[in-house]
Amino acid sequence: MAKLQTKNVKISGVCGALPRTVKTVYEVGEGFFDEPEIRKITLPIGVGNLYFAEEGQTASDLCYVAAERLIDGLGWQREEIDGLIFVSQTPDYIAPATSCLLQDRLGLSTGCFAFDMNFGCSAFVSAYFLAANLIDTGACSKVLLLIGDTLRRYVSPEDKGLTFIISDAGTATALERSTEGVLSSVIMSTDGSGSDALIVPAGGARMPMDSDTGIVSYDDDGNGRSSEDFYMDGMAVFTFAVKRVPALIDELAELHGMDKADFEYFLLHQANAYMLKFIAKRSRLPLEKFPVNIGRYGNTNGSTIPLLICDLASKELSMPKDVIMSGFGVGLSWGGVATSLGGLAYAGIVAVE
């Protein structure tokens, strides 16, 4: 099992960046679905607003704004930052890695190790796992996790399973070496046999875009999408999440040496509100320990956990909190981090002009 335990790492700060354009689910569905249908679809998933990147605005643009604000907010010296991980499914280019562009744009030193990772809903925990390893071994001392996506561009407006869920955002999370002795426990898992459950089939090397890949076809439920659009097998993803995540919570609590009932919060990827409730019930944990903010921001893919931390911190910044954070989705990939969020020196959400 891929796992890590360390007392040498802490999260120092988190910043979220949201694009300027925000739409209600009714605005998003206008022209494709009528109001009663939109209400019926969105009530259980709990979504109210969705964010849309501007034309030409990329995930790295959003992450850049979040990182600038975070670096200033923490008072970090740019030359001290020796690790930058950009996690996205919507990079600026096929090559080079977007993290290299961000290293330069942010004015970080050439002594910074910058690399990209391709993860979605599990982006935060995956990047945390790697960054914590880099810091724990002494390879790096201050690492930025820049996680963001502009997935709206890959969502068909006629796909009711995705168009009322997916939202654009970028985030920056600061991890650094710590002598405070805060324990972090991390477990990561993969099941590529479910790779077709969440996929954009066309546009990569396996299925290059051509004149046919953009043709929209309709499934039995009337959802229209092309091979260039994001696809989700709702049942496969739901089943995966509600089975894997409660088991992960149990494993992680045991590794961390705590009773799961003693954790104060479970910060889960905001897939949809009904699924989160079902996971809480199956874990036999109280619903109020599972904060839900999908109503405000939608499902921002890898950014959901950083945005949850920002919302939580805006209320309870100075209080030490034992939390389990868990991301799960495209890959299929899932994992979790058990730690305490007591040491945050900065948290905030900024609107990108």
Partner 1 sequence: MEEKLLISLADILEVDEDAVTLDTEFKTDAFDWDSLKGYATLVTIEDEFGVTVSVDDFIAAKTPRDLLSLIGCDA
Q: Does 196 bind partner 1 (CB under 8 A)?
A: no
- The piece of 17-25, 76-84, 175-183, 234-242 that touches partner 1 (CB under 8 A) is 234-242
Radius of gyration of the chain (CA): 19
Q: For residue 171, which of 323, 340, 348 has the smallest C-alpha distance?
A: 348
Indicate the residue among 152 and 244 with the shorter CB distance to partner 1: 244
Shortest Cβ 42–partner 1 spacing (Å) = 11
Q: Does 95 bind partner 1 (CB under 8 A)?
A: no
Indicate the residue among 247 and 317 with the shorter CB distance to partner 1: 247
Q: Which tokens go with 114?
A: 């910058």
Shortest Cβ 164–partner 1 spacing (Å) = 12
- Pairing relationship of beta strands 184-190 and 2-6 according to DSSP bridges: antiparallel
Task: Give all strands of the β-sheet with 333-340 in edge-to-edge order.
Answer: 2-6, 184-190, 333-340, 322-329, 265-268
* Dihedral class, residue 141 (left if φ above 0, else alpha if ψ from -120 to 50, else beta): alpha
Indicate the residue among 142 and 160 with the shorter CB distance to partner 1: 160
Q: Are 8 and 135 in contact (CB under 8 A)?
A: yes
Kindly identify the residues of this chain, within the stretch 281-310, that bind partner 1 according to CB under 8 A.
Answer: 281
Kindly identify the residues of this chain, within the stretch 235-254, that bind partner 1 according to CB under 8 A.
Answer: 235, 238-239, 242-243
Shortest Cβ 43–partner 1 spacing (Å) = 7
Indicate the residue among 93 and 274 with the shorter CB distance to partner 1: 274
Bridge partner residues of 174 (DSSP):
13, 144
Kindly identify the residues of this chain, within the stretch 18-77, that bind partner 1 according to CB under 8 A.
Answer: 40-41, 43-45
Indicate the residue among 233 and 264 with the shorter CB distance to partner 1: 233
Indicate the residue among 71 and 332 with the shorter CB distance to partner 1: 332
Shortest Cβ 149–partner 1 spacing (Å) = 23
Q: For residue 174, which of 102, 313, 71 has the smallest C-alpha distance?
A: 71
Spatial distance between the Cα atoms of 330 and 276, rounded to a whole number of angstroms: 17
Q: Does 234 bind partner 1 (CB under 8 A)?
A: yes
**DSSP per-residue codes, 276-342:** HHHHHHHTT--GGGS---HHHH-B-GGGHHHHHHHHHHHHHTTS--EEEEEEEETTTEEEEEEEE-T
Shortest Cβ 209–partner 1 spacing (Å) = 30
Q: How many residues bind partner 1 (CB under 8 A)?
A: 16
Q: Which tokens go with 236?
A: 């496969």
Shortest Cβ 279–partner 1 spacing (Å) = 11
Q: What amino acid occupies position 4?
A: L
Shortest Cβ 44–partner 1 spacing (Å) = 5
Shortest Cβ 235–partner 1 spacing (Å) = 5
Residue 238 parent element (H or E):
helix 234-256
Residues near partner 1 (CB under 8 A) are 40-41, 43-45, 234-235, 238-239, 242-243, 272, 274-275, 278, 281
